[in-house]
């Protein structure tokens, strides 16, 4: 099995910063793309940022210039550095990974970590 373990969520005031981490572990596998999604109160889950195995990145318009996604392939870990946080960034953030196991791709999700930005 492959599991995604998230950390770094919490409470922060507007203008502050948080760094989320997500580490993949389990059976022997290869990770293709990784990303972060979020779901705020009364909203649908949306893509925040994604990064390919080659390092190409994509960001939601709402976080461009404030968030940075990165990965450490040796550690099977993806990070999300969040700066200049706004109350509207409040959401449950989910880690996602495309995992190759025995020649088959699986779409794996973390349990989610709460990020709350106060005014």
Compute the C-alpha angle 44/72/10, nearest 5°: 45
pLDDT of amino acid 5: 94
Evaluate whether 104 touches 114 at the Cβ level (below 8 Å).
Answer: no
pLDDT per residue as tens digits for the range 44-93: 999 999 999 999 999 999 999 999 999 998 889 999 999 999 999 999 99
Asked whether the predicted pLDDT for residue 102 surpasses 90, the reply is no
Under DSSP, the state recorded for 42 is T
CA 95, CA 50: separation in Å to the nearest integer? Answer: 10
Compute the average pLDDT of residues 96-110: 91
pLDDT of amino acid 111: 96
Under DSSP, the state recorded for 88 is G
pLDDT interval class at 28 (50, 70, 90): low
């Amino acid at each position: 099995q492959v599991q995604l373990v998230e950390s770094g969520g919490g409470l922060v005031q507007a203008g502050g910063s948080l760094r989320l981490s997500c580490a993949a572990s389990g059976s022997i596998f290869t990770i293709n793309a990784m990303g972060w999604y979020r779901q705020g109160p009364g909203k649908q889950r949306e893509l925040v940022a994604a990064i390919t195995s080659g390092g190409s990145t994509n960001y939601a318009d709402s976080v461009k210039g404030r968030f940075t996604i990165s990965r450490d392939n040796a550690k099977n870990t993806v990070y999300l550095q969040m700066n200049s946080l706004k109350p509207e960034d409040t959401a449950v953030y989910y880690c996602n990974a495309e995992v190759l196991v025995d020649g088959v791709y699986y779409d794996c999700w973390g349990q989610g970590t709460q990020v709350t930005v106060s005014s």
